[in-house]
Chain A
Amino acid sequence: MSAQPARALPVRPVVRQTAISTIVRRTIGRGLLHLLIIAVCWIMVFPVLWTVSTSFKLEPDIMRYPPVWIPNPATLEGYRSVVEDGRLFRYITNTFILSGTSMVITVLVASLAGYAFSRFRFAGRDLILLFILATVLIPGLTQLIPLYQMIKVMGLLNTYQGLIIIYAAHGLPFTIWILKSFFDAVPIELEEAAMIDGCTPVQALARVILPISAPGLMAASVLNFVGHWNEFLTALVFTSKDEMRNVSVGLYNYLGWYGSVYNRISAAALLVIVPVLILFFIGRKNFVQGMVEGALKG
Chain B
Amino acid sequence: MRQSRALPYILISPSLALILAFVFYPTLYGFQLSFMRMIPLTGEFEFAGLENYSALLGARELWESARVTLFFGVQYVAVVIILGFALALIMNRKPRAMGLYMTLIFVPWVLSDVVASIIWRILFNQQIGIIELTMRNFPFWPKLGLITTPQGALWVMVLLGLWRGLPFAMLLLLAGLQTISRELIEAARIDGASSWRAFFSVTLPLMRSQALVLLLLASIGAVNAAATFLAVTQGGPGRYTEVLGLFLYRTGFQFFRIDHGSTIAVMMFLINLSLTLVYLRAFRSEYRL
A residues adjacent to B (C-beta < 8 A) = 1-2, 30, 33-34, 36-37, 40-41, 43-45, 47-48, 50-51, 54, 62-63, 65-67, 109-110, 112-113, 115-117, 119-122, 125, 128, 132, 135, 137-150, 165-166, 168-170, 172-173, 176, 201, 226, 229-233, 236-237, 247-249, 251-252, 255, 259, 262, 265-266, 269, 272-273, 276-277, 280-281, 284, 288, 291-292, 295-296
Contacts A119-B2, A296-B213; is A232 near B11 (CB within 8 Å)? no
Chain B residues 133-174 with CB under 8 Å of chain A are 133-134, 163, 166-168, 171-172
In contact, B22 and A165 (Cβ under 8 angstroms): yes
Question: When the two chains form their complex, are residues B114 and A255 in contact, meaning their CB atoms are under 8 A apart?
Answer: yes
Instruction: Decide if B163 touches A47 in the complex (CB within 8 Å).
Output: yes
Tell me the minimal C-beta distance from A22 to chain B in angstroms. 16
26 pairs, A vs B, C-beta closer than 8 Å: A37-B91, A44-B166, A50-B122, A50-B130, A51-B119, A116-B9, A119-B1, A120-B2, A120-B7, A122-B4, A132-B16, A135-B23, A137-B272, A139-B223, A150-B29, A172-B18, A173-B19, A229-B112, A236-B253, A237-B253, A255-B121, A272-B115, A273-B110, A277-B107, A284-B102, A288-B171
Which label, helix, strand, loop or mixed, suits the secondary structure of the A interface?
helix
Interface residues of B in 157-193 (CB under 8 A from A): 163, 166-168, 171-172, 175, 183, 187
Alpha-carbon distance between A118 and B110 when the two chains are bound, in angstroms: 30
Interchain CA distance A187-B69 in the complex, whole Å: 48
Assess the A291–B171 pair: CB atoms within 8 A: yes
CB distance from B122 to the nearest CB of A (A): 6
User: Are B252 and A262 within 8 A (Cβ)?
Assistant: no
Find B107's partner among A44, A115, A149, A266 (CB 8 Å cutoff): A44
Which residues of chain A come closer than 8 Å to B127, judged between CB atoms? 63
Instruction: Determine whether the beta carbon of A44 is less than 8 Å from that of B163.
Output: yes
Please name all residues of chain A whose beta carbon is closer than 8 Å to the beta carbon of B266 when the two chains form the complex. Answer: 142
Give A121 to B107 CA distance when docked, in angstroms: 41
Stretch at the interface among B50-58, B72-80, B224-232: B224-232
Contact for A44 among B167, B187, B249, CB less than 8 A: B167
Alpha-carbon distance A109/B17, docked complex (angstroms): 11
Residues of B within 8 A of A231 (CB): 112
